[in-house]
Amino acid sequence: MKLKNQLYKILVIPVAALLMGGCKIGRQYTRPQIDLPSTLDSTSVDTVSIGDYPWEQLYTDTILQQLIQKTLDNNKDMLIAAAKVKELAAMKRIDYANLFPQVGLKLYAEQEGEDHGGGHYKANDQYDIKLGVTWEIDLWGNLRWAKDKSMAEFVGSIENQRALKMSLVAQVAQSYFELVALDNELSIVKKTVDARRESLHLARIRYEGGLTSETAFRQAQVELARTATLVPDLEKKITLKQNEIAFLAGEYPNEIKRTILPEDVVHSTSLPVGLPSSLLERRPDIRQAEQAVIAANAAVGIAYTNMFPKLTLTASHGSENKELPNLFKSPHYLLAGTILQPIFAMGKNRAMLKAKKAACEQAAYAYEKVVLNAFKDAYNAIAEYNKVKEIYETRLRLEQSSKITLDLAQLQYINGVIGYMDLLDAQRGYLDAQIGLSNAVRDKQITMVNLYKALGGGWQ
């Protein structure tokens, strides 16, 4: 009966303490107030957004899809982010476990001989077996604030992983389109070099036939050499761009498969961008910043509750004896409670509370900054998307006009109506117009990438 009463005390006293520890003091988290714009785009008030589309639906090029998937699987930053999530998941488990009693088993054996004064040797052995329970009662919510902090950090790591995925999808797509555009530009330049060789051949014939001066012939040589210098520079850029894409995909430098640049990219006349409030919910960088505010607020709660007493209960039950055969004939139990109260620390605890409040204030401002930056990205991307079609059409007209001008100039030069410098101006104008049109097609692809990323697409 006595043993039952001892066990009853060991179990009942911690349970009673748990019921007493229901108070959680400190300021609960509230999201910082932000005045959002009424709309993202004056031409659209649709709640649907392209940010809700999977990236596979937006990027239909199968080669690009394979490249993006390879990057998401092998990119080192993605692997680091995944490992960080695992680490913080384990840390969250630790803070959660601290809310509960810690149970341990102690087995102890000691063989000791004593001889005080000589000739009086005697054994002083000791054998113990004890089951111990230690429990810090969360009177003021200190441990629960710690759990909230670790939970926010864990969720923040998940949002960071999502933000990284969103960024990588956009980065790979943009680099891929830039690489394709560089291929097209190189093709244009090589064709121009061939045309310059034909011009040089024609200039030599006319010079040797006495129809033009040596200046025109030498100028044709200079122009051929000038255009030819563009080839190795573009080849270098292509190699560097391929190495950049390979690095993103977690690979050593290699040849990147790709398609050719299309003649045009058709954009929808009206693209849904969603409402401003949806941006807060969809963009993982905003959600990560908010989790940082939640964690900082929890750290304030920890610092505040550290100024109050802490109660730790200790209980043990078992047996101890000087003789091993009689070990279980000598039961032992212990119930103890320790109250730790900070009294004097030169203001350290209050200073820590002030520091955590300041850190929480910084996190709130950082959150507001991330929101502002997200809306800046969205507005910039929408403006670029709305104007890129107009830019493409003007460059297309320029390219077509430059081609007509060049054809006319070549005919007039052969017939001796104009000089070589006039032909040269027409050739330069057409080269610039071709490259400008190629870049306009590239920019139409990239503006879609930027708009999709700005609206929080790519991580679903």
Question: Residues 228-278: pLDDT tens digits?
Answer: 999 999 999 999 999 999 999 999 999 999 999 999 998 887 778 888 888
Q: Which are the contacts of 242, defined by CB distance < 8 A and separation ≥ 6?
A: 179, 253, 254, 255, 256
Mapped onto helix, strand or coil, the DSSP state of residue 123 is: strand
Which residue shows structure tokens 């009294």? 343
State the average pLDDT over residues 344-364: 94
Quote the Cα angle for 146-148-154, to 5°. 105
Token pair 């394709």 is found at 180
Q: Has residue 4 got a pLDDT over 50? A: no
Q: How far apart are CA 90 and CA 92, in angstroms?
A: 5
Q: Which of 180-184, 245-249, 341-345 has the lowest mean pLDDT?
A: 341-345
Q: Reply yes or no on whether the pLDDT at 22 is more than 80.
A: no
pLDDT per residue as tens digits for the range 302-337: 999 999 999 999 999 888 877 777 778 888 788 898
Distance CA 191, CA 228 (A): 10
Residue 333, SS3 per DSSP = strand
Q: Describe the chain by its helix, strand, coil percentages, rounded to 5.
A: 65, 10, 25
pTM above 0.75, yes or no: yes
Q: What is the mean pLDDT of residues 129-133?
A: 91
Kindly calculate the radius of gyration of the chain based on its CA atoms and give it in whole angstroms: 38
pLDDT digits (tens, 9 = 90+) for 113-129: 776 766 677 777 788 89
Give me the chain's average pLDDT, please. 90
DSSP 255: P
In 3-state terms, what secondary structure has residue 43? coil
Q: Which domains does the chain have, with CATH numbers?
A: 1-23+101-114+121-137+309-341 (2.20.200.10), 31-99+139-307+348-454 (1.20.1600.10)
Question: At a CB cut-off of 8 Å and minimum separation 6, what does 259 contact?
Answer: 61, 63, 180
pLDDT at 208: 87
**Is residue 233 classed exposed, middle or buried when 0-12, 13-18 and 19+ CB atoms within 10 A define those classes?**
exposed
Give 137's Cβ-side CA count (13 Å radius): 24
User: CA-CA distances (angstroms) from residue 161 to 87, 138, 302?
Assistant: 13, 33, 27
